Amino acid sequence: MASSTLPLFPKLLQNETADVCVVGSGIAGLTTAYLLARDGYSVIVLDDGPLVSGETERTTAHLTHALDSRFFELERLHGEKGARIAAESHSAAIEKIEEIVKRENIGCDYQRLDGYLFCPPGESTQILEREMAAAHRAGLDAVEMVSRAPVGSFDTGPALRFPRQAQFHPLKYLAALTIAFQRQGGRIFTNTHVTGVEGGEPARVETKGGYVVNAKALVMATNTPVNDRLIIHTKQAAYRTYVIGATVPAGSVPKGLYWDTADPYHYVRVQPLDRGDVLIIGGEDHKTGQANDADARYLRLEQWARARFPMIEAIPHRWSGQVMEPVDGLAFIGRNPMDQENVYLITGHSGNGMTYGTLAGMLISDLIAGRENRWAALYDPTRKTLGAAKEFAAQNLNVAARYLENVTGGIPQDPSTLLPGTGAVIRRGLKKAAVYRDDAGELHEFSAVCPHLSCLLSWNAAEKSWDCPCHGSRFDRHGHVLNGPAISDLED
Ligand SMILES: Cc1cc2nc3c(=O)[nH]c(=O)nc-3n(C[C@H](O)[C@H](O)[C@H](O)COP(=O)(O)OP(=O)(O)OC[C@H]3O[C@@H](n4cnc5c(N)ncnc54)[C@H](O)[C@@H]3O)c2cc1C
Ligand code: FES
């Protein structure tokens, strides 16, 4: 999403105490913090970047209960009741955003609109019939089959219409939410990297500057948990996803949320701007650290978009981001497994993190306040989903294969051959070095071993980052950690 004016906050420069410390200032962290502050708790939010500098900054902001995981799959994995709760909780999240927008009088282009799911050309549309039946059983009675989505420029073929979905400008929304949070006494510290957390009484959050926040409860809203070393990371996988933003004449593409059933799928919506509209098109996902061909992916996205939307004038925007895919199709929201009772986490929201982040705020604030929440069991991070054994095994076999790279990976390249602005993992006997040559020609060298659980990193030429193929940690070209689960920088 295009940048918007977000408030600036100081670094943590002394020890602090609060009822709740929330780590992460994306939609999940800020919504949780805001709702807790509304309940009367004193809350501190910490973030290692500026406000909203994680994946929420990169989102395409479809607000939908038409989840990435098909309802018939959710039924298989979590039963009819689980699928119903998933539908109900995401619908409630959209309602909650709407309630907050009205209550805080937020101008964030929020609007209700319909979503359409359709098949790629030539593919059987049986999947739509199956999904419609499962969506009805999940309580989404208004979902219906239409002969095509209302896009004039191409025929989608039969489509499932999900009425009353929504879209908004997430940065405008969160800027206002932050101000409301502060008005309720909430405190925010940015550029404050959390280096360790410990549950207990009090729970402690340690930061790089040496200062500590003591709190009665901790919420880790870091997109992927940086406190859980292993358990959750065996149950989800990190994917890169790619987006282009195309200018189109105002009104030339009807407002709506559009998704196909391809794997990986395409996702499209229209963002109105002052002059014309921007058509936001995403897709081309791959496992983090397991492909380094972003230019080809952007090109395929562009070709896909131009073939369907000939009114595209120019494509001035492109970006990528990271989503966490749970093996059993649902996010993990609740108490951190095998930890103290007062440590909570929010992760695994696939491409539905706007609604997951919001429902997580509702769920976690209930858990902290000791209120009953009927969604808690479904999203419990300790759950074991028997039906997902195959997906679990596939994910962990994929990780195991990546460990082999520690022996075989890297190229026996002479770093002097590296061009400015490029990087490579270079083999030196049994050791592997992550070597980057900056634009001025200087070499920067680090260990190519991920500090999380020792997988071999890969170079990501598009983002100029070192990406871990095992659980998705990422590091900038200078070795600073960008995405967890790693909590520390690369070793020199
Ligand atoms: C390209 C793209 C398109 C998407 N489209 C959609 C969509 O249309 N609809 C939808 O619902 N979802 C979408 N998603 C998913 C959604 O954007 C994310 O799931 C959601 O933004 C995650 O929010 P979060 O608050 O959990 O994490 P983030 O926004 O990533 O926030 C986590 C924060 O934690 C901080 N942090 C991490 N580690 C530390 C540490 N050690 N110390 C201190 N702070 C730390 C980070 O700096 C960051 O600010 C999309 C995602 C991407 C990448
Ligand atoms: S993220 Fe787990 S080993 Fe790198």
- CATH code of the region 16-59+171-228+329-383: 3.50.50.60
The whole-angstrom separation of Cα 255 and Cα 245 is 15
Ligand 1 in reach of 132 Cβ (< 6 A): no
Output the CA 239–ligand 1 centroid distance in Å. Answer: 12
Structure tokens at 333: 């929201």
- Which ligand minimizes its atom distance to the CA of 224? 1
Pocket test for ligand 2, best of 406, 425, 455 (most atoms within 8 A of CB): 455
- Which ligand minimizes its atom distance to the CA of 49? 1
- Which ligand minimizes its atom distance to the CA of 483? 1
Pocket test for ligand 1, best of 60, 167, 212 (most atoms within 8 A of CB): 60
Looking only at the bridges linking them, the beta strands covering 16-23 and 43-46 are parallel
Looking only at the bridges linking them, the beta strands covering 16-23 and 212-220 are parallel
pLDDT at 1: 46
DSSP secondary-structure letter at 411? B
- Which ligand minimizes its atom distance to the CA of 321? 1
Output the CA 345–ligand 1 centroid distance in Å. Answer: 13
pLDDT at 403: 74
Question: Which atom number of ligand 2 is nearest to the Cα of residue 471?
Answer: 1
Distance spanning both ends of the chain, measured CA to CA: 34
pLDDT at 74: 98
Ligand 2 binding residues, C-beta < 6 A: 450, 452-455, 468, 470-473, 485-486
Question: Which atom number of ligand 1 is nearest to the Cα of residue 62?
Answer: 8
**410 alpha carbon, distance to own chain's centre:** 29
Q: Is the dihedral of CA 136, 159, 360, 240 positive or negative?
A: positive
The whole-angstrom separation of Cα 86 and Cα 75 is 10
Question: Helix, strand, coil proportions of the chain in percent (round to 5)?
Answer: 30, 30, 40
- Class of the CATH-defined domain 109-168+234-326: alpha beta
pLDDT at 335: 95
Residue with CA at minimum distance from ligand 2 atom 1: 471
> Can you list the alpha helix ranges (DSSP code H) found in 241-375?
294-308, 353-369
Ligand 1 in reach of 24 Cβ (< 6 A): yes
Q: What is the CA radius of gyration of the chain?
A: 22
pLDDT tens digits, residue range 339-362?
899 999 999 999 999 999 999 999
The architecture in CATH of the region 392-483 reads 3-layer Sandwich (2.102)
**Cβ atoms of residues 143 and 135 within 8 Å:** yes
pLDDT at 171: 96
**Cβ atoms of residues 332 and 381 within 8 Å:** yes
Output the CA 456–ligand 2 centroid distance in Å. Answer: 8
Output the CA 213–ligand 2 centroid distance in Å. Answer: 27
**299 alpha carbon, distance to own chain's centre:** 23
pLDDT at 66: 98
Structure tokens at 112: 């209700």
**Cβ atoms of residues 22 and 45 within 8 Å:** yes
Percent of the chain with pLDDT over 90: 87
**Cβ atoms of residues 335 and 351 within 8 Å:** no
**Cβ atoms of residues 381 and 337 within 8 Å:** yes
Pocket test for ligand 1, best of 53, 59, 345 (most atoms within 8 A of CB): 59
pTM > 0.85: yes or no: yes
User: Would you give per-residue pLDDT tens digits along the chain (492 residues)?
Assistant: 444 688 899 999 999 999 999 999 999 999 999 999 999 999 999 999 999 999 999 999 999 999 999 999 999 999 999 999 999 999 999 999 999 999 999 999 999 999 999 999 999 999 999 999 999 999 999 999 999 999 999 999 999 999 999 999 999 999 999 999 999 999 999 999 999 999 999 999 999 999 999 999 999 999 999 987 778 989 999 999 999 999 999 999 999 999 999 999 999 999 998 888 999 999 999 999 999 999 999 999 999 999 999 999 999 999 999 999 999 999 999 999 888 999 999 999 999 999 999 999 999 999 999 999 999 999 999 999 888 888 888 888 888 888 777 666 667 678 888 999 999 999 887 789 999 999 999 999 999 999 999 999 999 999 999 999 999 999 999 999 999 999 999 998
Residue with CA at minimum distance from ligand 1 atom 35: 24
The residues of the chain that CATH labels 3.30.9.10 are 109-168+234-326
The residues of the chain that CATH labels 3.50.50.60 are 16-59+171-228+329-383
Output the CA 403–ligand 2 centroid distance in Å. Answer: 10
Task: State the Cα angle at 192 between 175 and 460, rounded to 5°.
Answer: 85
